[in-house]
Amino acid sequence: MLPTFHISPPDPALAPALRRKIDSKTKPLHSLGRLEDLAFQAGMAQRSLTPKLARPRMLVFAGDHGAAQAGVSAYPQEVTWQMVRNFLAGGAAINAFCKTAGLALSVVDAGVAHDFSDVDAHPDFIAAKVAPGTANYLEQPAMRRDEMELAIARGAELARRLAAEACNVLGFGEMGIGNTASASLIAHALTGAALADCTGRGAGLDDAGLDRKRALLARAAARAGLAAGQADPLDALAEFGGFEIAMMTGAMLAGAEAGMLLLIDGFIVSAAALVAARLYPPLSAYCVFCHRSAEPGHGAVLAAMDAVPLLDLGLRLGEGTGAALAWPLVAAAVAFLNDMASFSDAGVAEKSAGGS
């Protein structure tokens, strides 16, 4: 059964006081640019003039995709489980970035086609497998409805458990060979953007591989028969998603319900956020869009969510790397809101009316 969520939009009554606090800091008006927007968002999400960021954690959700074996990716499916083990060994980019940023990291087996029983006791591993990979969406829906609902429920359970442990910032990353193709199909179904425009090179396809990927995804879209731009979000997720995408959707919804800030990584994570926001629109207020992916479909998802990402570094690695890189900016925004003196506190004269 699909969980229900109670996500409250921020209280608009707090907005004027929060804006006054930001504007009264010892700086020219709006001179901290996007950091001021971040500080405002954090305060509104927590319904507080003094928001606190507690026990931030990056979650990397991993899952396999049945369509990967049809040639939608440049890499074989085995890379998914191999990278999960690399994460647990501390050898991936996300490990380096989380260590630098002071982010705790957990790796979630949402549906990898591999036996991880030998690492069940690893402190950074969370066993939540729904099934060993999805079905091939070229032939049938990727997930049965009960499988999708279970993945959403397990993601929600994880976020609620972390909230009970006083975590109020969740970063989202993913690993799954073929999951940029899933994100492309979800983006097309939910935004109405042309499928070819939503489809990129993923993990490094050459021109011939990209042409093949586009043809395969067109077949999948035709089989599913969803009305592009008008599809039900759960239909799109079940038809094309992965267990890692569905589990992220549930974790985002429960995280927003708990008032957490959600650090949204690139294309695949944003596709999960789009599904979640279509189900519960107030979720968007809790999402910090951390970077613009080099994958072309990300632009359509960002536009659909009216989102302007913090960074644009040409990244397309996934794993949560863009979210980890953006996290220090979020922390800095809250730090200036809480720790920077106001003009009156510091005895500094404010700009006079009409001054330059």
Band of residue 356 on the pLDDT scale cut at 50, 70, 90: very low
pTM beyond cutoff 0.75: yes
Query: Among 174, 239, 295, 319, which one carries the catalytic annotation?
Result: 319
Q: What is the pLDDT of residues 292-332, one digit of tens each?
A: 999 999 999 999 999 999 999 999 999 999 999 999 999 99
Q: What is the pLDDT of residues 142-178, one digit of tens each?
A: 999 999 999 999 999 999 999 999 999 999 999 999 9
Please tell me the predicted confidence (pLDDT) of residue 351. Answer: 67
Class of domain 61-326 as given by CATH: alpha beta
Mean pLDDT of the chain: 95
pLDDT for residue 272 is more than 60: yes
Give yes or no: 319 in active site.
yes
DSSP state, residue 284: G
The whole-angstrom separation of Cα 272 and Cα 250 is: 9
Return the ∠ at Cα 59 (arms to 8 and 63), rounded to 5°: 110
Contacts of 53 (CB under 8 A, 6+ apart): 42, 168, 169, 261, 330, 331, 334
